[in-house]
Amino acid sequence: MAKNDLIGGSIWDEYSQNVQDRMNNPKFMGEITQDEAKARGGKLIVADFGAESCGDAVRLYWLVDEKTDRIMDAKFKSFGCGTAVASSDTMAELCIGKTVDEAVKITNLDVERAMRDNPDTPAVPPQKMHCSVMAYDVIKAAAAQYKGVDPEHFEDEIIVCECARVSLGTIKEVIRLNDLRTVEEITQYTKAGAFCKSCVRPGGHEKREYYLEDILAETRAEMELEEKQAVLDAQISGKFDDVSFENMTVVGQLKAIESVIDGEIRPMLMMDGGDMEILDLQKDAEGKFDVYIRYMGACSGCASGATGTLYAIENVLQENLSPNIRVLPI
């Protein structure tokens, strides 16, 4: 039967030749027996891992030199699709010659990259990326068995996207640093959700504990709450350095303007016998803030009140608070 009868030609084309070769002729499929391990002077490790999402399973055999912790040989058995076979075959090859500590650092992305025909073209279609995750998980299981620890010992963070190995902490940090507002932006910055998409929202290929939609909503809510608290704190303390003028309440904006005027503008006016007061603050449809002022004392009859002095006041407020401020004398 032709391959196009088994799978759509366009989908088949998304598999690298390397993957297709390993599907048909895996190099490291098989097992290592206890007798063989004894004859070769190594410790035999046999680890299993099954993927709940698709029913695939893999068994990994390691022959480890206990003196150096180096993996002398590796074999596998795979119960699953062709992609799982190819991924497991590649994973076994990558393990050979490494120490156990080095092997446990192999990720599913390393497996996928090793199966590419060229560096810039993915080896498998996005919906099959999860197959390489099994390889990563069974390595952890084997290393844990060798070291006598729990497999979770090798996870120092909560992983949200198994395909791209992106942690919860990384996603939250990227949202905050770049002010991200959509799941698509998260994917663009981190690659989370770019492959099987199970982590984007409930109902995907595999049930997840965390979803990008929920993380985004919760992080944005935290950011908004922190901004509101910062505004309140600034209004109480009179310090507005950490709050943008646009995010302040009207009361906060007026206090910020008064603070700048008292510190940098009023002393200069009073040296010439003048002064000023704020009459009103209004925001127009374009996001501009119109500050209405009235000159007092010597400034009230000064010609520069509509030119040089006015421009100086406006520039100081723009530099200290917002470029969207306009000053209008009445």
Share of the chain above pLDDT 90, in %: 48
Higher pLDDT, 68 or 161: 68
Higher pLDDT, 91 or 229: 91
Higher pLDDT, 11 or 191: 191
* pLDDT classification of 4: cutoffs 50, 70, 90: very low
- Distance between CA atoms of residues 125 and 40, nearest Å: 40
Active-site residue 299, yes or no?
no
pLDDT of 232 > 70? The answer is: no
Integer angstrom CA distances of residue 89 from 65, 109, 124, 227 = 21, 15, 15, 51
Kindly report the number of other CB atoms within 10 A of residue 177's CB atom: 9
Across the range 106-130, mean pLDDT stands at 85
**What pLDDT is recorded for position 239?**
60
Q: Give the length of the chain.
A: 330
- Which residues does 172 contact at the CB level (< 8 Å), separation at least 6? 215, 219
Amino acid occupying residue 320: N
Active-site residue 54, yes or no?
yes
pLDDT of 9 > 70? The answer is: no
Q: What is the helix (H) or strand (E) element at residue 17, kind and residue range? A: helix 17-24
Q: Where do we find the tokens 């704190």? A: 233
**What pLDDT is recorded for position 237?**
62
* pLDDT tens track for 178-230: 889 999 999 888 888 988 888 999 987 778 889 999 999 999 998 888 877 76
User: CA 258 from chain center: how many Å?
Assistant: 41
- Distance between CA atoms of residues 275 and 147, nearest Å: 77
Q: Where do we find the tokens 């000053």? A: 327
Q: Facing residues of 168 across strands?
A: none
**What pLDDT is recorded for position 88?**
94
Amino acid occupying residue 324: N
Share of the chain above pLDDT 70, in %: 90
* pLDDT classification of 6: cutoffs 50, 70, 90: very low
pLDDT of 8 > 50? The answer is: no
- Distance between CA atoms of residues 227 and 230, nearest Å: 5
DSSP 315: H
Domain with CATH 3.90.1010.10 in the chain: 3-153
* pLDDT tens track for 236-260: 565 655 667 887 778 788 888 998 9
pLDDT of 1 > 60? The answer is: no
Is the Cβ–Cβ distance between 107 and 98 less than 8 Å? no
* pLDDT classification of 5: cutoffs 50, 70, 90: very low
Task: Output the six-digit token pair for 82.
Answer: 């062709």
Among 266, 259, 224, 267, which Cα is nearest to 240's? 259
Integer angstrom CA distances of residue 282 from 168, 256, 288, 314 = 42, 15, 8, 15
Domain with CATH 1.10.10.1100 in the chain: 157-237
pLDDT of 233 > 90? The answer is: no
Spell out the CATH class of 157-237. mainly alpha
**What pLDDT is recorded for position 272?**
86
User: Pairing state of beta strands 289-297 and 325-329?
Assistant: parallel
| 25-39, 165-179, 275-289: least confident range | 165-179
Select the CATH number that applies to the domain covering 3-153 from these four: 3.40.50.2020, 3.40.50.11290, 3.40.718.10, 3.90.1010.10: 3.90.1010.10
Domain with CATH 3.30.300.130 in the chain: 245-329
**What pLDDT is recorded for position 179?**
86
Average pLDDT, the chain: 86
Among 35, 144, 133, which Cα is nearest to 88's? 133
SS3 at position 117:
coil
**What pLDDT is recorded for position 278?**
93
End-to-end alpha carbon distance in the chain: 87
Supply the angle between the helices 82-95 and 17-24 in degrees, to the nearest 10.
90
Asked: is 245-329 a CATH 3.30.300.130 domain? The reply is yes
**What pLDDT is recorded for position 236?**
57
- Distance between CA atoms of residues 170 and 176, nearest Å: 10
Q: What is the largest CA-CA distance in the chain?
A: 105
Candidate list 95, 131, 196, 199, residue with the active-site label: 131
| 45-49, 79-83, 205-209, 218-222: least confident range | 205-209
Q: What is the DSSP string of 42-104?
A: -EEEEEEEE-TTT--EEEEEEEEETTTTEEEEEEEEEES-HHHHHHHHHHHHHHTTSBHHHHT
**What pLDDT is recorded for position 51?**
59
Q: What is the helix (H) or strand (E) element at residue 161, kind and residue range? A: strand 159-161
- Which residues does 81 contact at the CB level (< 8 Å), separation at least 6? 54, 56, 128, 131
